[in-house]
Structure 1
């Protein structure tokens, strides 16, 4: 094997596992107008370069950065994977005394979030179009009040479970970034993802599961091809949370409910 081939193989081996697939989402005329009009106001300049989802070297999200960016030192809430922005925009409108940061990688979602926020003239919302684990690496200790991760990509195939966003490495960075007593709120409508969250978070140092509901889940994982076997697997009781009242009912969640899926809510407190 030549030196160049060895170098390429090493780069592939060390490349981080992403929780999303890079794809170009074309903007229609309405979303392009929103991007052109609002990007300067809402989109943070933290990217390593044009088209990159990495964070630029030298960026640090600390108290000073929050004050310079939002103009105050109000509590900061970060949502990982904001989709079309329905939830975080509604939260920002309902809580002008709090700061909100939307993390989304896809152009249409970013543009639609800008559009919703811009229509209401929200000044307490910003958007970062970067890989969430990379951004949390540059966050200072105790700079975030809450983190929200609602209905993340379930990556249903067994071989893709490693791509799920809830992982020990990210959990460790979030724990460090949270204020003492801060919360990581998670929701999913996929039963196997709920088991995954319990496996990662219930034993995670520095977090306390503060849920008050008992649910029964299979204790073995299933994938896309054998999900129908879940009901016949051994089950055990797990602790989860009531639905967070601060989460609006988005179109995505509504479709899940209409399909008969159960919503699993989690709240983990930094201790």
Structure 2
């Protein structure tokens, strides 16, 4: 059977290896049992996992988890799945979830596009991609998270009225999103003023300090 993510197997990330300290490794092993979702498995059941029906958001590429947990704490009525391949960032996010007492966050330690196979079509109210890897070399552009194939995948995962929110400080990445999403028959949107609810990320601060301009883009799946 062909699943939503089957055609989206080009790697969008660069493996980075950094060992955890013994204390952070112990925290990771303790919390990941209850807070991390397997990348592969049966259809994901958000009501069973979170204990009730609520809007569901997938946050792709969460870094150290500061933005994800800050936004989740401010929006307790929204359930969030944060995905990242890098172990130190997942461990940091697990620590923040515990210290902040967040019940509306789960994590995927792995490729979000593989995890997409577990999500039902139309099951997401939002997809967030804040400052994805820019892959600046022309020969690597096909590895960007926002590609033609992935935009179509995101559209199918979104419920009618659901939103795709991307933020980047790379001008040609923003142009690429404008072209791909603007040309999609079932997405409406474009560049927006920076939403107040989006926390400033560490990467964003570095970009601003370097003089780069941040662009926020929001697209909504048309209701038919």
Q: Same fold (TM over 0.5)?
A: yes
How far is 1:92 from its partner?
A: 1.3
192, 196, 215: which one pairs with 2:176?
A: 196
- Distance in structure 2 (CA, Å) of the matches to 1:249 and 1:107: 22
Change (3 A) 1:24 1:188: same
Change (3 A) 1:30 1:190: farther
Aligned to 1:69: 49
Aligned to 1:232: none
Aligned to 2:139: 159
How far is 1:68 from its partner?
A: 0.8
Aligned to 1:251: 202
Deviations 1:28-60 (A, max 9, x none): 23421320231122111x23xxxxxxx24xx21
- Distance in structure 1 (CA, Å) of the matches to 2:62 and 2:142: 21
RMSD over aligned CA atoms reads 1.6
Q: Does 1:116 align with 2:109?
A: no
Scaled by the length of structure 2, what TM-score is found?
A: 0.91
Aligned length: 216
Scaled by the length of structure 1, what TM-score is found?
A: 0.76
Structure 2: 5+ residue stretches without partners: 1-6
- Distance in structure 1 (CA, Å) of the matches to 2:89 and 2:98: 14
Change (3 A) 1:90 1:161: same
Following TM superposition, the consecutive aligned residue runs of length 4 or more in structure 1 with deviations greater than 3 angstroms are none
Deviations 1:74-98 (A, max 9, x none): 1111100001101110111111111
Q: Is the 8 A contact 2:126 2:164 kept in 1?
A: yes
- Distance in structure 1 (CA, Å) of the matches to 2:149 and 2:116: 10
12, 21, 28: which one pairs with 1:28?
A: 21
